[in-house]
Structure 1
Amino acid sequence: MPNAIPPATPADGNMRVDVLTAAAGSIPTLTELNADTVANISCYLTPDGFAFTQEQATITDERLCSTETFGLPGRKSSTLSLTGIDNTNSEYETEYNEMADALTEGADRIVVARWGLPYDTPYAAGQKIRVIPIRVGMKAEQSPEANSVIRSTWSTFVSGPSDLVEIPTGG
């Protein structure tokens, strides 16, 4: 008897998020994704720290001959804010502050997100990734809380199409 409820992939540990300083094309190559300059921020992000949203507006399509209002797909918009560990001014700043170092205000960056595989699985051709070009906004330190860690939130401004693409073979 087939399973009536399809299986689900746990979210915990099965997402990778990287920050690239540049890519030659609109889809990063395997070489670019695995470069030493890439900041893997997966373990810096808090569980709700990758706040990516997409919306699409509706174009109203009214006709003289109809009593109904129809709709067409309109402009798309994407937003991204990142919340994670910030070791600025701590004993860990020099060695463990890649997220803060990568997200310099005003810098143009490319955020790459991959769902469904353990975060430490290397990138491979054919995997689906979300490529999000951004300009980094301001860093806002979060209020300290009991039984918590020091963290900050970076606002970003999506500066190009944020497409879901396959990693190309080669390169």
Structure 2
Amino acid sequence: MTSPLPTSVPSDGTLRIDFVPTIAVRTAPTVAEVSAVGAQELAGYVTGDGFTPSGEQATVTDERIASTQTFEQPGRKSKSLTMTYVHNPDDPTNNEAYLTLEEGVTGYIVTRYGVPRAQAYAAGDIVDVWPITAGEPMKNWNGANSVHTATQRLFVTGDVVIDAVVAA
């Protein structure tokens, strides 16, 4: 039996990235929390290659006297997040990513995939929730025919929830 080809979802314009100052339950952030005053939509600032979540998982070795093979178990996980975004040094009204992610600020990066970025959050949306403390932003010099950007490590400070469901 041949499996049908799955439907693909275009990625252009369908990643929303928001800084959210407060979330009570990471597994079920509410529409009010992700849309609250103080929340800031960031995807419009992030460069095409500037959203770089990553993760690693250690290996626990499991050696047995009765075996000539070394077995493995999954070990501790670590996640990290770095963003590169447009930096507009002369226009504070058009520099929200840089100003929102001031070094030391704490909160959450909430990401939603596969839905048009401009579409408001709704109950039932599937999101990833990253608790973070913003590191120092580093201004980049990108040379001729480019724009000013900043690159920033966002330190993960708690369990990242992948595929959380937005509550009403």
**What TM bracket, shorter-length normalisation?**
over 0.9
Where does residue 16 of structure 1 map in the other structure?
16
Once the two structures are overlaid, the 10-residue window that deviates more, 27-36 or 63-72, is 27-36
- What is the aligned partner in structure 2 of residue 31 from structure 1? 32
Are residue 99 (structure 1) and residue 97 (structure 2) matched?
A: yes
User: How far did residue 29 of structure 1 move?
Assistant: 1.1
Deviation digits for residues 45-66 of structure 1, max 9, x if unmatched?
A: 0011111011211110110000
Q: State the match for 2:166 in structure 1.
A: 167
Structure 1 residues without counterparts, runs of 5 or longer:
none
Q: Which residue of 1 aligns with 2:65?
A: 64
Q: What CA distance in whole angstroms lies between the structure 1 residues aligned with 2:5 and 2:143?
A: 39
Give the distance between the partners of 1:67 and 1:143, measured in 2 at CA.
55
What is the alpha-carbon distance in structure 2 between the residues aligned to residue 143 and residue 7 of structure 1? Answer: 40
How high is the sequence identity, in percent, across the aligned residues? Answer: 37
Give me the whole-angstrom Cα distance separating, in 2, the residues matched to 1:61 and 1:116.
Answer: 40
Provide, for residues 88-119 of structure 1, a one-character-per-residue CA deviation record: whole Å limited to 9, x for no partner. 2x2xx221111011101111120000000111
Partner of 2:78: 77
SS of the aligned residue for 2:97 comes to helix
Work out the number of aligned pairs and report it.
Answer: 165
Match of 1:135 in 2: 133
Which residue in the other structure is 1:51 paired with? 52
Q: Distance in 2 between matches of 1:125 and 1:145?
A: 43
Greater shift in the superposed pair: 8-17 or 23-32: 23-32
Once residues 40 and 155 of structure 2 are traced to their aligned partners in structure 1, the CA distance between those partners, rounded to angstroms, is 19
Structure 2 distance, partners of 1:25, 1:102, is 22
**Distance in structure 1 (CA, Å) of the matches to 2:165 and 2:63:** 38
| Deviation for aligned residue 1:4 | 4.8
Structure 1 stretches (4+) deviating beyond 3 angstroms?
A: 2-5
Q: Quick one: distance in 1 between partners of 2:39 and 2:21?
A: 7
**CA-to-aligned-CA distance 1:49-85 (integer Å, 9 cap, x gap):** 1110112111101100000111111101000001001
Query: Secondary structure at 2:152's aligned position in 1?
Result: strand
| CA shift digits 1:140-164 (9 cap, x unpaired) | 1112222111100011110011111
Question: For residues 142 and 61 of structure 2, what CA distance do their matches in structure 1 show?
Answer: 46
Query: Which whole-Å CA distance do the structure 2 matches of 1:143 and 1:106 have between them?
Result: 23
- In structure 1, how many angstroms separate the alpha carbons of the residues matched to 2:82 and 2:67? 43
How many angstroms apart in 1 are the aligned matches of 2:136 and 2:33? 26
